[in-house]
A and B are shown apart, each in its own frame.
Chain A
């Protein structure tokens, strides 16, 4: 297996899988009697053709970077965190509580506090499944799924019964104070002139980039990352080396949940300016696809997040400009997960076979 060049694994196979997913999506578009070429045009121009489009694409990408990193960090410890959705939901609650609790004088201070709140709440929501996995061997996939639902109910309760302002009808918190609004791309020096006031992309994007870098450092440069990776590759060997499984699972999942929770600084603090139901919009699940495509590496996660940001924004435009429902994006997303994740061996096996045969042939020669 080590005879297959690295670029095949990190580039060729994902790209081919992506292509297959897109081709099948195109066929689906044809099936519902629409024009796939036109669909692509609308998506590309809507998501990438203007600063407005980019503003939204990068906004969505920011969400996906956080959830993608969350999945990736857990994955390195061989934990499949499917609970990003719930953790990001709770992160939103944390951010909202922090922002509503005090009259923050400036966004920068509020941001730091909100980051702590979001990360803590997200981490807390990952803590129970992590603990049960570490200590009692409860399958983390199932418990995190369950926690997604429990989290949704909890948020529902909080919004309806606790946080909804008097007299308001929709289950949402009050608006945050204007002082806590994060600067959007429009407000930033240098690039501000390109973006209109309405684009939601905000300084959280840079925090997401920072998170990528920090995750990279963590995983590949620190002792903790070494232990996480070692445990993820071989649990028995990690135990031999005196690495505590409980510690690794807990720490990795807390970081993972914290990253998912951090997403809330973008969608809740940066864009919504209040907490609404379902503010996560499936970003937790998209994080799985992003991490899969990005091969659990921050650079890959970043690129895949941009791709999904493009799909998301482009899909929104599709619904507006054509009669293709926005659900097409859900289908594309499903196909990307299917082909880059579950069907990965479909191409991998023959491709690796090819390289092994070539290696063997070279050996003979």
Chain B
């Protein structure tokens, strides 16, 4: 395997890891605030559809982005209503959100475009095209550094750079701002926040809304960056992988970057080398596909560093029994 191939695989890993990263950070906000979210998949799917649809109709990817975020946020609000206002079971709500998105996107897509649940093919401004960073062309032939810069770092869609920027931003918000302090507190012990005179409900809704926005970015990237339009079930389990990455990263932003890129890399490798022959064993593609889930179970089992979720996670905040 030569250097160019490695760069190419890493490049692919970045592209495939980006939706996971955005979705993972999305989940991070919600779960850090004590709202479990297994509905990331649904929110991404909804965003993928609305961004694809609006971008197709208007020919403007930015409008698509807005619509995608809107679609994802509306599901986030359903989840918020269920988990915060009605104090329902967050897991059940997540399951419902996934189904809702899965059915609703196809239903609407079919009604709007009559293309069997897909949106028209996007082109030109309807997509977030790759951006060539300044100087990338110039240094293309400089060995190693130049190759890394022009082939790996440059040449992604704007949403990829947004996703990467979200990592330090998320860290900063979470650990360096008042909002972050309160958000973490509400996921650990909502009573502490409530008795400190801060509204648990408002905090949690804000968190859920941020989750919606980030999951919206993730879905939009799928439909308008990675692909050129929406097809049904195009998230293909990425929401669950993002959830796995979140656990893998123990609900922390920087490890989330590592986990999602690892899972992106696994996908990139299995794209290029469907069967990996290790000499002793031949790893079939199905194994490669299952690796993120297997790793997550191992982490959950606590054999390699235990993943402890936010203490109040999954429980509705109920003052009166």
Contact = CB atoms under 8 A, between A and B. Distances in A.
Interface in B236-263: 237, 240, 243-244, 247
A139 B300 contact: yes
Interface in A151-178: 153-154, 156-157, 160-161
B305 interface: no
A157 B282 CA distance: 13
A30 to B, nearest CB: 11
Interface in A28-48: 28, 31-33
A324 B242 CA distance: 32
Nearest to A25: B103
A153 B294 CA distance: 11
A171 to B, nearest CB: 11
Interface size bracket, A side:
35 or more
A345 B107 contact: no
Interface of B: 38, 78, 81-83, 86-93, 95-100, 102-104, 106-108, 110-111, 117, 237, 240, 243-244, 247, 284, 286-287, 289-290, 293-294, 296-297, 300-302, 309
Contacts of A147: 293, 297
A142 B107 contact: no
A142 B100 contact: no
Nearest to B302: A136
B284 A334 contact: no
A3 to B, nearest CB: 15
Given A138-B300, A146-B244, A342 B96 contact: yes
Nearest to B244: A146
Contacts of A349: 86
A342 B297 CA distance: 26
A146 B284 contact: no
A331 B107 contact: yes
Interface string A140-151: 011101110110
Nearest to A132: B301
A355 B240 CA distance: 41
Given A157-B286, A327-B102, A32 B92 contact: no
Given A142-B247, A343-B81, 15 more contacts: A82-B95, A136-B301, A149-B290, A150-B297, A157-B286, A292-B92, A324-B107, A325-B117, A331-B104, A331-B107, A332-B103, A335-B96, A342-B92, A343-B86, A345-B88
A330 interface: yes
Given A149-B237, A153-B287, A327 B117 contact: yes
A329 interface: yes
20 contacts: A80-B91, A132-B297, A132-B300, A138-B301, A138-B302, A142-B243, A142-B300, A143-B300, A145-B243, A149-B240, A150-B294, A160-B286, A327-B102, A331-B107, A333-B99, A334-B102, A334-B103, A335-B100, A342-B90, A343-B81
A345 B88 CA distance: 7
A337 B96 contact: yes
A125 interface: no
A325 B106 contact: yes
Given A149-B290, A335-B100, A338-B78, A325 B95 contact: no
Contacts of B93: 338, 341-342
A285 interface: yes
Contacts of B110: 32, 325, 327
Given A33-B111, A142-B247, A342 B83 contact: yes
Interface in A311-338: 324-325, 327-335, 337-338
B187 to A, nearest CB: 15
Contacts of A80: 91
B89 to A, nearest CB: 6
A288 B92 contact: yes
A22 to B, nearest CB: 14
A334 B96 contact: yes
Given A341-B89, A343-B82, A325 B300 contact: no
A335 B108 CA distance: 16
B259 to A, nearest CB: 14
Contacts of A333: 99, 103
- Scoring B89, B107, B289 by chain A CB atoms within 10 A of each residue's CB, the highest score goes to B107
Interface in A107-151: 128-129, 132, 136-139, 141-143, 145-147, 149-150
B251 to A, nearest CB: 12
Contacts of B91: 80, 82, 141
B107 A32 contact: yes
A62 to B, nearest CB: 21
Nearest to B79: A342
A288 B91 CA distance: 11
Contacts of B87: 345
A346 interface: yes
A344 interface: yes
Contacts of A335: 96, 100
A149 B293 contact: yes
Contacts of A28: 104, 107
